[in-house]
């Protein structure tokens, strides 16, 4: 601070330029946000598109969404735990356990899909409550608790699916989640509703703030944001609506995959919780400074437990999507690389491992990076060995970016 008295609350009218300048300042100060993920996404897509033209086909584009959906949903839940500076290593197999519950209720009990899905999510809630309580009340590092849970859940999945058999899923509704598409027209309608809703909310907010003489976003900036959303969404819907069936006369394959609106709805709900409710504010506060949060009267234990509950519930939803995509549940559902991909997705997207920083949208961007790597390297014909190494390197790179940007922020006094 310059200790001299500066003019009364320098409030220059916000414009596009001042917003761009503010963003550039933040990036220079080490607050990279989602920039590395977006940059990585562009680079990866360019490389794969040049090396393997099939990467750019409509069929592959749709494939990317269904491929990455489960991991992305788990990553969205992980953001809540990471925000507190904790970690949940059991999220992968938690999704496996929930998927197994779903499969058993569907196939051997013959229950309707909504009961099975409800039970799967309830299983997630129970798992999250258990892990969260142990972490919060006993004060054991979440790393250890969830590592133990990771092993235990791996065993639990094995027991649930009876030592390695595969439970097939035949329920039409569950199968539709990861395998069916929206009718092309509905895709456009939903996009239009979404863009219009976003524009309306932004304008309403700006007008309300202006009425109270608070600094409001200028209409030009709102127009740019809405335009960008409409453009990106429009391109996505356009490509996804292209017929991608080899034999369209027999079976038509076009439209936005069903998982996309599911993820968008989850994104909206979770983002609302984080940004617009006191609960979300308190979550950031606990991640930023536990002591300050405690003195402000926030029940830190309850925040921790709730974050783990949200994480495991999202893992359950991820498990349902994974089961739908594989049309079955086996002992490896939610196993092998799922957890590391999910943590990677959250961190690559810009969620800090140190807590207090991150958005749900980051997890989706990071999930896209992970999905593109997985998909592109598959198209290039690399073995899973190479895929693991590359994904691991990217995760490490993301953690390095996180740590370095923290250091830089400390140096520039921004954190």
Partner 1 sequence: MTPALELRGIDKSFGPVQVLHDVAFSAYAGEVTALVGDNGAGKSTLVKCVGGIHPIDSGEYFFDGRPVRIGSPRDAAELGIEIVYQDLALCDNLDIVQNMFLGREHRRGIVLDEDTMEAMAAKTLESLSVRTVKSIRQLVASLSGGQRQTVAIAKAVLWNSKVVILDEPTAALGVAQTAQVLELVRRLADQGLAVVLISHNMNDVFAVSDRIATLYLGRMAAQVKTSDVTHAQVVELITSGRSGDLGLTNGATV
Binding residues for partner 1 (CB under 8 A): 1-3, 5-11, 29, 208-209, 212, 214-215, 276-278, 281-282, 284-285, 287-289, 291-293, 295-298, 356-357, 409, 413-415
Q: Which is nearer to partner 1, 180 or 281 (CB)?
A: 281
Classify residue 4 by its DSSP letter: S
The residues near 84 (Cβ < 8 Å, ≥ 6 apart) are 283, 286, 287, 303, 304, 307, 355
Give the shortest CB-33-to-partner 1 separation in angstroms: 13
What is the distance between the alpha carbons of residues 195 and 109, in angstroms, rounded to a whole number? 42
Give the shortest CB-398-to-partner 1 separation in angstroms: 19
Beta bridge partners of 295: none
Angle between helices 384-412 and 360-379 (to 10 degrees): 150
Q: Which is nearer to partner 1, 293 or 347 (CB)?
A: 293
Give the shortest CB-65-to-partner 1 separation in angstroms: 31
Q: Which is nearer to partner 1, 30 or 366 (CB)?
A: 30
Q: Measuring CA to CA, how many Å separate 222 from each of 199, 212, 225, 226?
A: 7, 19, 5, 6
| N-term to C-term CA, the chain | 15
Q: Which is nearer to partner 1, 6 or 247 (CB)?
A: 6
Q: How many CB atoms lie within 10 A of CB 415?
A: 18
The residues near 382 (Cβ < 8 Å, ≥ 6 apart) are 390
Q: Which is nearer to partner 1, 165 or 277 (CB)?
A: 277
Q: Which is nearer to partner 1, 106 or 285 (CB)?
A: 285
The backbone torsions φ and ψ at residue 257, rounded to the nearest 5 degrees and listed phi first, read -55, 145
What is the distance between the alpha carbons of residues 365 and 16, in angstroms, rounded to a whole number? 24
Q: Measuring CA to CA, how many Å separate 94 from each of 134, 202, 338, 376?
A: 16, 38, 11, 28
Q: Which is nearer to partner 1, 70 or 298 (CB)?
A: 298
Give the shortest CB-357-to-partner 1 separation in angstroms: 6
The residues near 280 (Cβ < 8 Å, ≥ 6 apart) are 273, 274
Give the shortest CB-58-to-partner 1 separation in angstroms: 39
Classify residue 242 by its DSSP letter: S
Give the shortest CB-283-to-partner 1 separation in angstroms: 11
Give the shortest CB-382-to-partner 1 separation in angstroms: 39
Give the shortest CB-346-to-partner 1 separation in angstroms: 17
- Reference 169, options 335, 322, 312; nearest CA is 322
Q: Which is nearer to partner 1, 164 or 413 (CB)?
A: 413
């Amino acid at each position: 601070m310059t200790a001299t008295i500066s003019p009364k609350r320098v409030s220059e009218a916000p414009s596009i330029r001042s917003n761009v300048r503010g963003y550039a300042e933040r990036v220079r100060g080490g607050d990279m946000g989602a920039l590395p993920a977006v940059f990585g996404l562009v680079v990866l897509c360019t490389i794969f598109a040049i090396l393997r033209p099939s990467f750019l086909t409509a069929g592959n584009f749709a494939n990317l969404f269904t491929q990455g959906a489960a991991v992305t949903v788990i990553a969205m839940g992980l953001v809540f735990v990471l925000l507190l500076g904790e970690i949940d290593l059991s999220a992968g197999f938690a999704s496996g356990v929930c998927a197994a519950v779903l499969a058993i209720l569907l196939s051997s009990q013959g229950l309707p899909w909504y009961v099975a899905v409800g039970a799967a999510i309830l299983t997630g809630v129970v798992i999250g409550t258990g892990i969260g309580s142990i972490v919060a009340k006993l004060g054991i590092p979440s790393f250890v608790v969830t590592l133990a849970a990771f092993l235990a859940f791996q065993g639990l999945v094995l027991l649930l699916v009876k030592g390695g058999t595969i439970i097939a899923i035949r329920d039409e509704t569950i199968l539709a989640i990861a395998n069916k598409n929206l009718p092309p027209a509905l895709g456009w309608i939903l996009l239009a509703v979404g863009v219009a809703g976003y524009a309306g909310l932004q304008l309403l907010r700006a007008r309300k703030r202006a009425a109270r003489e608070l600094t409001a976003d200028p209409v030009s900036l709102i127009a740019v944001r809405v335009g960008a959303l409409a453009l990106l969404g429009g391109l996505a819907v356009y490509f996804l609506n292209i017929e991608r069936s080899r034999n369209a006369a027999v079976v038509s394959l076009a439209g936005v995959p069903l998982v996309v609106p599911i993820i968008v709805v989850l994104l909206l709900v979770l983002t609302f919780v984080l940004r617009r409710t006191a609960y979300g504010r308190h979550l950031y506060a606990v991640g930023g400074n536990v002591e300050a949060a405690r003195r402000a009267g926030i029940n830190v234990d309850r925040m921790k437990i709730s974050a783990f509950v949200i994480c495991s519930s999202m893992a359950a939803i991820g498990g349902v999507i994974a089961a739908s995509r594989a049309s079955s549940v086996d002992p490896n559902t939610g196993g092998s690389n799922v957890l590391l991909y999910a943590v990677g997705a959250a961190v690559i997207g810009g969620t800090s491992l140190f807590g207090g920083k991150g958005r749900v949208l980051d997890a989706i961007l990071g999930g896209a990076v992970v999905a593109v790597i997985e998909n592109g390297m598959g198209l290039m014909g690399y073995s899973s060995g190479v895929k693991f190494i590359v994904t691991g390197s990217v995760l490490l790179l993301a953690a390095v970016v996180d740590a370095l940007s923290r250091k830089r922020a400390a140096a520039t006094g921004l954190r």
